[in-house]
Amino acid sequence: MPDSRTSAITVQLVYLARLREAFGRAGESLTLQGADSSVGTLLAVLRERGGNFGLELGAGRAVRVAVNHALVATDARLGDGDEVALFPPVTGG
Amino acid sequence: MTVRVQTADFDAGREIAALRAGDSRVGAVATFIGTVRDVNDATHVVTLTLEHYPGMTEKALEAIVAEALTRFDIFDALVIHRVGTLAPTDQIVLVAVTSAHRGEAFDACRFLMDYLKTRAPFWKKETTPEGARWVDARASDDEAAALWEPPSGPR
């Protein structure tokens, strides 16, 4: 039985560019259980899937994260309904 | 400020005329146009496809232009960036800045491009005779953008 004080949040993931191809999808909904709802935790959850998630989000890989259209660091906290985008370093211009 | 992300090509002359129209304070207009090359990393480029993140890309460009308007003594600035599939010699991006004098206009134009290259959510994918590949970000772009930061030192 879940502790009534434990919060779960659901975020909308968006995968862009090479990551979309590697993950095989443009995005997905993901629910994080527990009190620790940081970007770092989210990335760890995705890495645990293994395969291309483990590869692309592993140590030494440069992945950028934006929450609701603003770049954030891995210690940023997530809120219910947030749009979280993962993408490679940008190459515009 | 004018910021546009579009698939259509742009007419630089027309955009510059609109930017400075009726503003007799303007003594200088600095512009930059980025175009598609046919060779990258010694490989022939057949097409270049530009992807963006709708919603965030426009906001990021607006923030970069807003910063330029604060940092430099300029009157106005515009950025038009194309997305979609382009071919060698096609135009990709237009940056234009107006000011009273050339120093600030040149500097702001350079700044806008250096920040766009490292902060604006666009990604390039090339098709080559060997197949398609995503372009990697360049360390030289990060180094150029870093030159605009104040030097860090002991507090």
Question: Residue A2: what pLDDT?
Answer: 46
Q: Which amino acid is at B72?
A: F
A51 by DSSP, 3-state: which? helix
DSSP for B58-115?
HHHHHHHHHHHHHHS--SEEEEEEE-EEE-TT-EEEEEEEEESSHHHHHHHHHHHHHH
Q: Residue B144: what are its φ and ψ, rounded to 5°?
A: -65, -45
pLDDT band at A89 (very low <50, low <70, confident <90, very high): very high
The residue extents of the domains of chain A are: 8-87
Q: Any chain A CB within 8 A of the CB of B133?
A: no
Report, as an integer, the average pLDDT of B106-121.
Answer: 96
Q: Chain B within 8 Å of A85 (Cβ-Cβ)?
A: yes
Among the partner residues A66, A85, A91, nearest to B135 by beta-carbon distance: A91
Q: pLDDT at position B40, please?
A: 79
Give the CATH number of domain A8-87. Answer: 3.10.20.30
Look at residues A17, A7, A19 and name the one whose alpha carbon lies nearest to residue A56: A19
Strands A8-15 and A83-87: parallel
Domains of chain B: 2-15+25-135 (3.90.1170.40)
Residue of B nearest to A69 (CA): B56
User: Average pLDDT, stretch B97-121?
Assistant: 97
Pairing of the two strands B76-82 and B91-99: antiparallel
Q: In B, residues 39-78, which contact A (CB 8 Å cutoff)?
A: 50-53, 55-56, 59-60
Residues B53, A7: Cα–Cα separation, whole Å: 30
The per-residue pLDDT for A3 is 47
**The complex's ipTM?**
0.88
pLDDT of residue A14: 98
Q: pTM of the prediction?
A: 0.91
